[in-house]
Structure 1
Amino acid sequence: MAVYKNTSGQTSSNGLKTGLKSRHLTMISIAGVIGGALFVGSGNVIYAAGPAVILAYALGGLLVLFIMRMLGEMAVLNPDSGSFSSYADRAIGRWAGFSIGWLYWCFWTLLMGWEAYVAGKILHNWFPFIPIWAYMLLVIVSLIWVNLQDVKNYGEFEFWFALIKVVAIVMFMVVGSLAIFHLWPWGDISAQGNVNYLLDQPFMPNGIAPVVTALLGVMFAYVGAEIVTVAAAEAKSPEKEICKASNSVVWRILLFYVGSMLITVCLIPHNNPLLKDPTWGTYSVTLTALGIPEARHLVNFVVLTSVCSCFNSALYTCSRMLYSLSGRGDAPKSFGLTNRKGSPWAGVLFSSLFALVAVYLTATESMNVYDVLMMATGTVALYVYLVIAFSQLKMRKKYEAEGRKIDFKMWCFPWITYAVIVVIIGSLLVMLIEGTYFKEVMYTSLLALLIVAVGGIVHKVNLGKGVSRTSLRPDSTLD
């Protein structure tokens, strides 16, 4: 693998420093699964689907479990900061690696602007004498600084961000469980004894259609689980950490998402109007009903740490994706340069572009424009999952033909892989026909086609002139 600049300290096979510890990787994998959508966005899903939201989150989690197993199989054999983009390059072709890498970069860099905006709004609500855009700038500059330091700094920040989220979820589940068993002495729920909403209302009060729509929306809540395979490339034992993270995805989803939804639908009627109020959120509504004072502020603090964690991970992931694309000749060589701390500084700064655009739009009261940009990334998760499945299908067959030993395998190959491909394609078709996510599918598809077209031009010009792609792809190409 090419290394553009030597850095002090031990380096991984792709030239980045190996500063992440096992506890960092554990919390990064947890942080990747827990997003702000759990605390706030899940309210809309509960309102529409009713108690069947449990089924939607469980089925969505099952799909992510299979995807992580496929990705883990490839990552254990070839740890790489480009993760699925690198594997798509090797398995499907250069156009696939280029396209999915840049599409994924677009998703996270656009999301960073939105996360900064949410953080700014929360801080502005607490201390209104400072404008939202100023808070946004503070968050952005602070987390850019973190990502320009040694990678262990990123790991430490994610460790504590994730720990706050885990503690909050565990406390919510403990309090909620006490209320369900009539052991919580405060709040309207205990006073009325209404802790059997799950049994008292229909499982699918609005029919199957909202559940299908909810399932499609739930898939987006799990985006970020794959970040650990990017970060593992900078760990001392990437193969071990990837196996551990992939195996633990299922219990994290069951505990954090399915468990939280189960408690919520037991304690709160699904048609509570506050659930679909974006200023409240699932946890706030439930904890307020339980009589906890200032529950909204407590939850907003957790959401603040969650969006900062998301921004931090997004910036890290974007810079490493650019680093990998640069090494393969699919991005300018400058994105492969690292500073003395081992950080790909050019990729970090460039990946902050849309976050700074969001600051400008907020300052000029034009943030509604950003909503249109975000719509273009609405179904990126499904495209990434689809590419992972096709890549694993081809790479597994290749390795088996070569007689290569595979210790960490996808189950029931190739049948589950084929089933996942069918489900994802079917989901995209349902989204188009059903209509709720029609614009997201269309805008994301147009963005993907644009990136493919740009990729064709880039390969003609050859941004990676002077870079030997053979040396960057130790496994023989399949295209």
Structure 2
Amino acid sequence: MSSTTTLQKAGGDPTGEPGGAQPSDGLKAGLKNRHLSMIAIGGVIGAGLFVGSGGGIAKAGPAILVSYALVGAMVVFVMRMLGEMAAASPNSGSFSAYADRALGRWAGFSIGWLYWFFWVVVLAVEATAGAAILESWIPAVPQWAWALIVMAVLTVTNLGSVASYGEFEFWFAGIKVVAIGAFVIVGLLAVFGLLPGSDNPGAGFAHLTDTGGFMPNGFGSILTGVLMVVFSFMGSEIVTLAAGESKDPRRAVTKATNSVIWRIGIFYLGSIFIVLTLLPWNDPSITEKGSYVAALDSIGIANAGTIMEVIILTAVLSCLNSGLYTASRMAFSLGERGDAPKAFARVGKRGVPVAAILGSVVFGFVAVYFNYAFKDTVFNFLLNSSGAIALFVWLVICLTQLRMRGILMREAPEKVTVKMWFFPYLTWATAAMIVLVLGYMFFDDANREVVSLSVLVAALVVAAGVFRDRRRKAAERAEAAGPAEVRG
């Protein structure tokens, strides 16, 4: 089998052109370089960064920086592995298509459906969060109606064209990037007492150690912090799915992979560092108001709460927009490979998979309904059973890359333009760290139910994938044996 044929099965560009100018799967190459750049930057900035960081600071103190650094390093390594495969073989199914090729059809089926499930549940979570903010501004419209409006608007956006998705995400992500960049710059000026009119005493770096030391709650708090911050990083891999609908996917993936280090460094470590230097880690306002609002209040920024609500709403809309896009493209890829209804693989006149988008958003609407009608039962199950899937995805990327490196180097070494560092040792080390985090979740009271239900759902999906794979192979053997029996 030729390398071109093999790469086509893995989802690569069949033309062999350097950039893969047009997707081979019927999707339209409607994303521009500026869209991909902002999707790559904004993908690592979720609403969880703004909302959940206060709880992590309260648990670990200044040592939460180590937690963010550990998870950030893990994401950098995972993105490097994914970048290696995506640059060589761009595909709208990304890691699911690569797992299909490297580990087996059951693996691509399983991780693809689990990832789709994760994002359609996220749609409900983010729609509800956005609706709560909008209802606080305009109480005349009930929260359920706001959730419906937000979901409907972004569905229309995604149905319009991939360029519409890219344009919306460009501006949503742009607001997040500008907001955090401004926060870091203004915060640094206040830390050193250089911000005119600031209420902050400008204590420099003293707050990192002046309240019980850098690690006030012991080393174990770092691992607890890891569990609290790891899920806020989910979404960094979206750019590798979106790259398949750009004019030069390999260049886009290479650029995104190479820039992930500074993006995590500035947006996560940089902004949390500012919070910790502006306020003592145990200041009650960090958990009462949220870490960013508390930091802005300490500087003397007027209407800090409203400012953060606007930024959080933008982050929520960005996550919703990308979540619907990501779920639909994964459903499309599964449909192409025969692991989902064939209708999901059909592309409309505008170059978007209409059935895959509508199928994903319908499940999202159902999940929103469950959030209002059965919040403590059905929706709680959906939420908990999808909670650890991010870690499963990263683990599968590690295992896939271990196999794909050999396949690519044998069949198309010229396409391996991005390489994982210190292969295979760093890949194995990253996989071991992910397993450690999953194992630690079992012994953590707050996360035991999440990881247990996630493992249960994953086991059921894997069992379905293995069953389908065996039936497919049996059918192929029977078909191959048919002519021989006739001849006999």
State the match for 1:331 in structure 2. Answer: 340
AA paired with 1:441? V
Shift of 1:367: 6.7
Aligned residue for 1:16, secondary structure, equals coil
Give yes or no for contact 1:361–1:367 (8 Å, CA) kept in 2.
Answer: no
Deviates more, 1:439-448 or 1:114-123: 439-448
Percent of aligned pairs with the same amino acid: 47
Contact 2:26–2:347 (Cα < 8 Å) also in 1: no
What amino acid sits opposite 1:233 in the alignment? Answer: G
8 Å contact kept, 2:106–2:468: no
Asked if 1:36 is matched to 2:47, the reply is: yes
1:15-414 correspondence to structure 2 within 5 Å: 15-186=26-197, 188-190=199-201, 196-201=206-211, 202-277=213-288, 280-361=289-370, 364=373, 366=375, 369-402=378-411, 404-405=413-414, 406-414=416-424
Deviation at 1:457, TM superposition (A): 4.8
- The residue type paired with residue 434 of structure 2 is I
**1:161–1:309 Cα contact (<8 Å) kept:** yes
User: Do the aligned residues in 2 keep the contact of 1:74 with 1:87 (CA within 8 Å)?
Assistant: yes
Deviation at 1:355, TM superposition (A): 2.6
Match of 2:453 in 1: 443
Going from structure 1 to structure 2, the CA distance change for 1:26 and 1:419 (only over 3 Å counts) comes to same
8 Å Cα contact 1:39-1:282 kept in structure 2: yes
Cα distance in 1 for residues equivalent to 2:198 and 2:136 = 26
TM-score normalised to structure 1 length: 0.91
Give 1:418's match in structure 2, choosing from 424, 428, 441.
428
Whole-angstrom distance in 1 between the partners of 2:462 and 2:427 = 25
Is residue 454 from structure 1 mapped to residue 467 from structure 2 by the alignment? no
Measure how far apart 1:186 and its partner are: 3.8
Supply the AA of the counterpart residue of 2:172.
Answer: F
Distance 1:402 1:194, change over 3 A: closer
Q: Which runs of 5+ in 1 are unaligned?
A: 4-9, 467-479
Q: Aligned residues, how many?
A: 455
* Stretch moving more, 120-129 or 446-455: 446-455
| Residue aligned with 1:299, SS | helix
Change over 3 Å in CA distance of 1:365–1:441 after alignment to 2: closer
Q: What is the distance in 1 between the residues matched to 2:412 and 2:333? A: 28
Superposition deviation, residue 454 in structure 1: 2.8
Structure 1 residue runs of 4 or more that deviate by more than 6 Å after TM superposition: none
Q: Structure 1 residues 114-123 or 193-202, which shifts more?
A: 193-202
Instruction: Report deviation, 1:460.
Output: 6.7
AA in 1 matched with 2:305: R
Give the letter aligned to residue 16 of structure 1: L
Provide the C-alpha distance between the structure 2 equivalents of 1:215 and 1:178, rounded to a whole number of angstroms: 29
Contact 2:371/2:379, CA 8 A, preserved across alignment: no
Counterpart CA distance in 1 for 2:102 and 2:63 is 38
Cα drift, residue 217 of structure 1: 2.7
Note the alpha carbon deviations across 1:59-116, whole angstroms, 9 max, x for none. 1111111101100110111100000000000000011000000000010000110000
In 2, Cα distance between equivalents of 1:53 and 1:89:
37
- TM-superposition CA deviations, 1:415-474 (whole Å, max 9, x none): 111111111112211221344321111111011011123334545776xx99xxxxxxxx
User: Would you say the 8 A contact 1:48–1:206 is kept in 2?
Assistant: yes
SS in 1 for 2:286: helix
Mapped partners of 2:320, 2:221: distance in 1? 30
| d(CA) in 2 for partners of 1:339, 1:121 | 34
What SS is found at the alignment partner of 1:408?
coil
RMSD across aligned positions (CA) = 2.1
Q: Secondary structure at the match of 2:24?
A: coil
Q: Render the CA deviation track for 1:380-436: whole Å, top value 9, x for unaligned.
A: 111111100111001112233447232211111111111111111122112213443
Q: Please, what TM-score do these two structures have when normalized by structure 2?
A: 0.89
State how far apart, in whole Å, the 1-side matches of 2:107 and 2:372 are: 38
Deviations 1:327-355 (A, max 9, x none): 11100101011211111011111111343
1:12 Cα deviation after fit: 0.9
Describe the shift of the 1:429–1:68 C-alpha distance in structure 2 as closer, same or farther (beyond 3 A). same
Are the counterparts in 2 of residues 358 and 367 from structure 1 also a CA contact under 8 Å?
Answer: no
> CA–CA distance in 1 between the matches of 2:119 and 2:376?
18
**Amino acid in structure 2 at the alignment position of 1:436:** A
Structure 1 contact 179–195 (Cα < 8 Å) conserved: no
Structure 2: which amino acid aligns with 1:82? G
Amino acid at match of 2:326: T
Q: CA deviation at 1:17?
A: 0.4
SS state of the match for residue 54, structure 1? helix
Q: 1:352 to 1:422 in 2, by over 3 A?
A: same
SS of the aligned residue for 2:209 comes to helix
What amino acid sits opposite 1:311 in the alignment?
Answer: L
